[in-house]
Structure 1
């Protein structure tokens, strides 16, 4: 989804494909862990178990880890496949993201769902979402080549008396 900024390389494109893949996985891990925490708060805390010291905390940490690993796998696979497709096709368009999204969705959600049907649904829905966002130009940042400073570096003109 980050590659929909045109043909030229922008300021966000300075990283190597491996670095981008790692950043995608780490971002997915962080987002998934946060989402896992939110989901864990929606469920009732289990009753105190005999050999588990803090059952609510243990269950919350397991959910955080599960969601974190899933999101990290999706993010890493998405960016990694997108970069491979970009290097093979030599084109920057929505197709790269759609292929990356399909592969990551089909792999991760197919594995979790243990069926080809869940793989196709997961891959197709992520590919559709990625393509719509890329074609629509929805990005988190547009590089217009300008640098913005928190302060002005030029002096104000003095008013004429």
Structure 2
């Protein structure tokens, strides 16, 4: 009689060991896939933030070196014109990084507002007589020099 009572308890138990309960459900597989994708995305974004910080530091160092050099070899006025362009380039670089960061999530294309920033600075330089167009433009291109420095570093200096 004891064995019958045990059998009844086992059969009426809400926990069953059928194949359906042992095999992972599709949502479990999807959750595991989502977790690995989330981890991969977090790693990618971490690399992106490191790259952006590195580019920003290189840009600021180049800006300082070039600003001092232009001040020594030309004049403070031209150096300040360069600095206006370089600061605009840094803002442009930050806007570009923000757009790239949002790609894939809610956006599928880059915005065009960065171009308006560049056009605005050049128009300001042409209209304001104290500003010179060439130093402002070359200052803006400092972020491009940063990309060249970064590419040379990655090509010739191995990561440690």
TM normalised by structure 1 equals 0.38
TM normalised by structure 2 equals 0.38
Structure having the larger proportion of residues in helix: 2
The structure whose Rg is larger is: 2
